[in-house]
Structure 1
């Protein structure tokens, strides 16, 4: 049996064994032991349609309805917002599907496969950004779940202001335990959990739509006037970033158990279908609700869960709370599991369950700090995460071009060897990432200028398109520029290098 070692992760320890093709499949253990190593062939038993479950469960949250308010906030009409939502959601999850192809070809986590484009050591640059982005957004989901608990229990009259601290403590413990527990158990447990949550949350979401249908006033909803082209593009960038692009740095983590013979088209299709179906319906319904009631639209912007809960009869509030928490937990589990894998890809020498636990502890601490000590930290926190979205978009463009240029599976050994065909550093990819990030930051605006004035350095190129007060200022074109330019530059500048790598 031939063994492959990764000196950067487990020096002196085997992390992957090549098992003979006729070896019997191994039943998955309760706790997944695989880390960033190549998944052995006998364990690649997943089917493309299995990808539907994690993506659907993580995106069926009623929180998606809040995007109806966000889109109308750009000053566009309901039909424009509907078209924007469909295009943005489908395209963004299709991009996730393209990244997922790499997981099938290489049977390794996203950030390990990114080494083919950036080099074994160079990958650590986007890896750090990815880790910060993942753990940041999942902490934000956890905070939302904890605060939603207090909001709904207040509405029910079960707790008064004096009980807020106790409720927040209990909610933090329960939510964090669910997220960390599932993440530590790993891939197989998460896949089963997501399939159960899909049916549970999907059923209650349908019930929510039925119970709130009477709140829609069709004439008023469709009376919103059309917005300008700049406003429409701004809304498109926002919805694209808020949905698929928010998951793109972990997309291959969930396809690495697929057989190498699986169809690329099916991988992309099931990612896209799983991620898109629920959000399209939820955003459209959210548009109808927000378009029908200006007060509701404003309330959603400040407190999405609480505003939507106010539409329900009292008997439905507690089930709504449970399902809302579970859907937020579902998304956070995917992120924390993947952030643990990213942590390992950076060279941290601990087992995968321990990496997930470490990230879970960081998530819990972050939640405690915001909920109990620094609630005004939310604005600066989100401003910081949005800033990371520009280099993440650039990284996505680079990796997608790299994936589409390749015609062969990855060299397993070279992904862990700086002396292999992928090298230690890829100067072209690193320079491209830095360049498109600098350009992209020049065309985005800090949406939390008052709460995070230290981040107002962005937007230094907006004078080219009308300045900070122009109609293009809040279109956040920098994200789009980083994604497209990252792809185009890589497609042409690295074509020869990719060809030589595959011929080595």
Structure 2
């Protein structure tokens, strides 16, 4: 017996969502009557979440690879656009299956097998939303200190609680509220961010920027990987969550295009401005490592601090809202049987505790954050390659009932996908290194394939251990995981995908 045609109505055995003031829909299939979004609506969540001035701080991170302004600009443009293009490809699944990303991924991994990448996805989302909240808290503490309004632990605690409350409240209200808020924030924060970029122009030393020496190609690859994991790949595990309300008649190309434009437009400009500022002032570039937003505040006139703070906090909160909303969906997809608003609240508690801990006890913010990005970026890249290949290989919409039934056409566990992800991750981790050994010593286990392959040498210097060799810090393992995941899936699972589409 074949499954019902999902283009006409949700599958009868699949749970179906419902509308309300507070979105109660969790991982259920979105009812056809609720699928009213248009492709251009995807601009709002992605633009508002990525217009954050935090993007300017990436200028400092890129130049830290020892490359020139021109090289860094090329890397920024390519890395940002390509990474959000990959998000757009994943977003196609949301339109085809009207379910969250981690539910749709069951078609590739099996209903129960999906829990493996689901756990990694949940950790990634929790990490991202916490890091954004931390940046907002640090920005608040810095501005209040500069203005003489208050300083110390009291300000930090109050800021952490209020910012977490904003994030959790919006996330609990759900999709429709978030989309309305993001559309407003896009215009307001976009306009103010442009003003702040104009105010930083006098701090640009064009001669210093132009005189920066070029670096080797391997350094450019390392910078490219960091940009891709810091932007599009950091969001790719939630991309379909925001396209599941799209009409089935929307074209795949329009979904990809609007997703890419919304996500990439602001970061490209922000990172280039950040490159100009970091290349002009080495002290500013160094300060960004400890407090990205606070460092940028230091170059603004006093009158601009309060509006800058408001915009910085709102844009960071905007990104965190997307993360906590989706992490709640992922939590439910792992088998935690609680309502979606409750799942968002649970993750909100974790976010609050994590934010307070880092703000009080972590001596360095960017070190652990960068190390975290690269480490989880490897399995996420492997998963993304598998899912993108699965999406592109399919010719029909998903059997929505089977996404919830381990006895259905997608099965319980797809061992080909599981093994591919594990092997790609193991190989990928062997080709990335922890660039922040002192700030994140718990992550010094990676890079175990560099010496055997002649790509780098570990130097145990008493003054500080480091890797020697041009390829050592390229973190090429992320790209390897992505390409390997895609290639194996494309060739090894095409026959299985065809059988799934025939209902076999």
Q: Could you state the TM-score of these two structures normalised by the residue count of structure 1? A: 0.93
2:25 pairs with one of 34, 38, 41: 34
C-alpha change, 1:443 and 1:189, in structure 2 (3 Å) is: same
**1:270 aligns to what?**
258
**1:16 aligns to what?**
16
Gap regions ≥5 residues in structure 2: 1-8, 458-466
1:300 pairs with one of 267, 283, 288: 288
Cα shift at 1:483: 0.4
**2:391 aligns to what?**
403
Is contact 2:229–2:374 with CA below 8 Å preserved after alignment?
no
Tell me, in whole angstroms, the C-alpha distance in 1 between the residues paired with 2:10 and 2:353.
42
Cα shift at 1:220: 1.4
C-alpha change, 1:83 and 1:382, in structure 2 (3 Å) is: closer
What does residue range 185-224 of structure 1 map to in structure 2 within 5 Å? 185-224=173-212
Cα shift at 1:375: 4.7
**2:215 aligns to what?**
227
**2:463 aligns to what?**
none
Q: Could you state the TM-score of these two structures normalised by the residue count of structure 2? A: 0.93
**1:470 aligns to what?**
469
C-alpha change, 1:80 and 1:377, in structure 2 (3 Å) is: closer
C-alpha change, 1:70 and 1:373, in structure 2 (3 Å) is: closer
C-alpha change, 1:235 and 1:220, in structure 2 (3 Å) is: same
**1:448 aligns to what?**
436
Cα shift at 1:443: 0.3
Gap regions ≥5 residues in structure 1: 7-14, 18-25
1:190 counterpart SS class = helix
**2:241 aligns to what?**
253
What does residue range 58-457 of structure 1 map to in structure 2 within 5 Å? 58-159=49-150, 163-375=151-363, 379-380=367-368, 383-457=371-445
Tell me, in whole angstroms, the C-alpha distance in 1 between the residues paired with 2:109 and 2:296.
44
Cα shift at 1:157: 2.1
C-alpha change, 1:233 and 1:205, in structure 2 (3 Å) is: same
Mean Cα deviation higher: 483-492 or 227-236: 227-236
Tell me, in whole angstroms, the C-alpha distance in 2 between the residues paired with 1:277 and 1:48.
16
Is contact 1:370–1:378 with CA below 8 Å preserved after alignment?
no
Tell me, in whole angstroms, the C-alpha distance in 2 between the residues paired with 1:472 and 1:487.
23
Tell me, in whole angstroms, the C-alpha distance in 2 between the residues paired with 1:186 and 1:359.
14
Cα shift at 1:448: 2.2
Aligned residues: 484
1:267 counterpart SS class = helix
C-alpha RMSD of matched pairs (Å): 1.6
Q: Which digits, 9 at most, give the CA deviation of each residue in 1:250-272, with x for residues without a partner?
A: 00000000011101000000000
**1:486 aligns to what?**
485
